[in-house]
Amino acid sequence: MTTPNEPPAPNRSSGVAPVKKEFLLPIPHTAPTPAPAPAPAPITEPADDAEPNNDRKRPADDASEPRAKAMRNKKDKKKFTGQNKDRPRGHVVEAVQICSLIAIGEECTRPNCRFEHDPQVFLAARDPDLDGPCPSYEANGKCPLGIRCRFHKKHTAEDGYTQLTDAARMATAKPVLNLLTRDRQQDLRKKQFKFTRTKEYLKFLGEEGKARAAAAEAARVAKEAAAAAATAAAAEAVAAAAGSDAEMADAKPAPPPVEKPAPVPVAAKPEPTDSVVATLKLTRREKTRIDFRGKTYLAPLTTVGNLPFRRLCKGYGVDITCGEMAHTHSLTAGAFSEWALLKRHPCEDLFGVQLAGGKPGMVLDACEIINADCTVDFVDFNMGCPIDSVYGNGCGSALLDRTGRLRDILRGMDQVMDCPVTAKIRTGVEKHKNVAHKLIPQFREWGVALTTLHGRSRQQRYKALADWDYINECASAELKGDMPVFGNGDVLSHEEYYSKLATYNNVDGIMIGRGALMKPWIFQEIKERRVWDISSAERLDMLRQFTSYGLEHWGSDTQGVNNTRRFLLELLSFTHRYIPVGLLEVLPQKMNERPPRFVGRNDLETLMASDNCNDWIKISEMLLGPAPAEFKFLPKHKANSYEDPVRAEAFAAYAPTSSLAPSVAQLATGTA
């Protein structure tokens, strides 16, 4: 009960985050023009999702108008859900492309080289250098791009051509791991890699399949024999009853006894499917055991879970990192773009890669290559991806309903890999048909070392709250045994993290995905058990660190700069949803609460809260210089950005301009 002097508690059931009134942004709107009273019309039930429209008079004889309006509203809603599948990629190519050998100060000996060989021509046509040191040179003591680097003056001699190196840094530099070599790529493309372990396991599967087929045939014969015996016995009983009735009626002597046919032997009940092939047991490989319990785990995130972002999260204290989902068919084909997803930075001390595939042979081939060439602590198998293209190919969450194929894949991965195998799943494919509680006990038998359960079905995507009660049920000791089970879904603060661990105490840990995208520093909050009211300047420093990691990873030439810009914008499409702690009436911010339009405590904080793509590009220009005229960006998820001119105009009109607050320019240059 509140006193007259106390404000009422904010209503958190509305789905909107409770921002303090002084920071809320009023949205101007045009008052509707009064319409003349309409003629009497037949009463029609409005559609459930139709909204009143006071600006337009409905014709009295148009009985189908509510239905038509409902259809329009559904289409409008759909425009802002799902993915932007045909979005521009923002690929930018330099007008003059220089020979890679000339760029690093070497002589080109290729007679048919079609690239520019005059450094001065290239430098005259290229965009100007960026401010700051070269990330690659600072980290490794040399830059592999030479004068193509947008920081080339920092590591080029006075002649403007010769490249400098730093021997001390080169001696201490730690290289990125899990690179695909040209020789290995040729082996894969020419089918020269010997998949010894995979072939042994597939041979075992063939023998097991024959044994299962024989057992199934024996069971069928036994069932038919039992049915025939039952039918014969029933017919005999009917015949005996009919004979007795006739004897009593006619008082005739009984017919001579008829010999009964010998009973058909009924085969013993077949053993369960998994024990039919008891003589074909696999020999489990000795593996390094990893204690996952209680560790913070950054989810493998497609597109946004790249190596620079993982490095950023490692800086905030996350324990376990995992690469982006890689398709096994592309890995076995030697695609450099797919192998790039397996790269591991030396700072990732507990690192795994995630694979997606639907065919045992293809998945195991990829596992055997990784086992031979890569340095990983575990391999995670994706059974939760809801994307249509993945699901339609029998991968991801499609495997949740294909237990037999899932068994063949997971047992094979455990047989082929020297490191532990983990699994990531959803509750099921459909909303009210959970299957995880049936799969988890089998995972334990198939050699899975850790299962992570996302508390939503494929059908739900992110439309509903994660079902943590069901996660806790699946993590019970009766189902999981000694295999740890992590939960995943809707954690955005250290309060929620520890609250869920205490409430759902069967769970051994929590994987964090979107929460880390919105506020990467969540892992530091969890470690320190405190709320961090991070300033806009600190957030800009975080983005500056991400761009430095990005330039080191994707390259510091023009193409690398714009790749870094694109992935920075992907990150900003999530971080703009964060509401600063000092602006909230009630802590913590909830994942399912929509941020209202608000202004920050300074210009930069306001800019970082914008959901307009153009404002994100402005932030990128503070860190990476002006974007090329041809550069375009559209976020992966439609709901991450809005193109509403009225809202944008209001946002600009109410941006704070106090002289006491540091300006965006000051914060960008570090002079605030």
Pair 601, 584: CB distance under 8 Å: no
Is the pLDDT at 264 greater than 50, yes or no?
no
Confidence of residue 74 (pLDDT cuts 50, 70, 90): low
Which 3-state string (H, E, C) describes 414-451? HHHCCCCEEEEEECCCCCCCCCHHHHHHHHHHCCEEEE
Q: Average of pLDDT values for 468-488?
A: 96
Instruction: State the angle between helix axes of 307-315 and 558-575 in degrees (0 to 180), rounded to the nearest 10.
Output: 60
Confidence of residue 515 (pLDDT cuts 50, 70, 90): very high
Q: Average of pLDDT values for 412-440?
A: 95
Is the pLDDT at 664 greater than 80, yes or no?
no
Tens digit of each residue's pLDDT (9 = 90 or more) over 576-608? 999 999 999 999 999 999 999 999 999 999 999
Quick one: pLDDT at residue 652?
52
Quick one: pLDDT at residue 358?
94
Quick one: pLDDT at residue 642?
41
Give the C-alpha distances (Å, rounded to integers) separating 81 from 248, 393, 518, 636: 82, 23, 19, 11
Is the pLDDT at 40 greater than 50, yes or no?
no
CA–CA dist 10, 25 (Å, integer): 17
Is the pLDDT at 660 greater than 50, yes or no?
no
Does the CA dihedral 83-88-90-96 come out positive or negative?
A: positive
Confidence of residue 223 (pLDDT cuts 50, 70, 90): confident
The residue with greater pLDDT, 543 or 241, is 543
Is the pLDDT at 210 greater than 50, yes or no?
yes
Flag the least confident range among 44-58, 64-78, 474-488.
Answer: 44-58
Pair 26, 654: CB distance under 8 Å: yes
Is the pLDDT at 257 greater than 70, yes or no?
no
CA–CA dist 233, 488 (Å, integer): 58
CATH of domain 297-533: 3.20.20.70
Quick one: pLDDT at residue 117?
93
The residue with greater pLDDT, 415 or 633, is 415
Quick one: pLDDT at residue 241?
73
Counting residues of the chain whose pLDDT is more than 90, the rounded percentage is 64
Is the pLDDT at 49 greater than 70, yes or no?
no
Quick one: pLDDT at residue 30?
47
Is the pLDDT at 508 greater than 90, yes or no?
yes
Average pLDDT over the chain, rounded to an integer: 83
Q: Average of pLDDT values for 211-223?
A: 76
Quick one: pLDDT at residue 92?
72
CA–CA dist 272, 212 (Å, integer): 10
Is the pLDDT at 44 greater than 50, yes or no?
no
Q: Average of pLDDT values for 652-671?
A: 46
Flag the least confident range among 40-54, 74-88, 360-374, 390-404.
Answer: 40-54
Domain boundaries defined on the chain: 100-189, 198-252+262-280, 297-533, 550-669
Catalytic sites, residue numbers: 385
Is the pLDDT at 260 greater than 80, yes or no?
no
Is the pLDDT at 517 greater than 70, yes or no?
yes
Residue 323: burial class (beta carbons within 10 Å; 0-12, 13-18, 19+): buried
Q: Name 235's Cβ contacts closer than 8 Å, sequence gap at least 6.
A: none
The residue with greater pLDDT, 113 or 644, is 113
Question: Residue type at 5?
Answer: N
Confidence of residue 93 (pLDDT cuts 50, 70, 90): confident
Pair 611, 569: CB distance under 8 Å: no
Tens digit of each residue's pLDDT (9 = 90 or more) over 318-352? 999 999 999 999 999 999 999 999 999 999 999 99
- Is 326 strand, coil or helix? strand
Q: Average of pLDDT values for 310-314?
A: 98
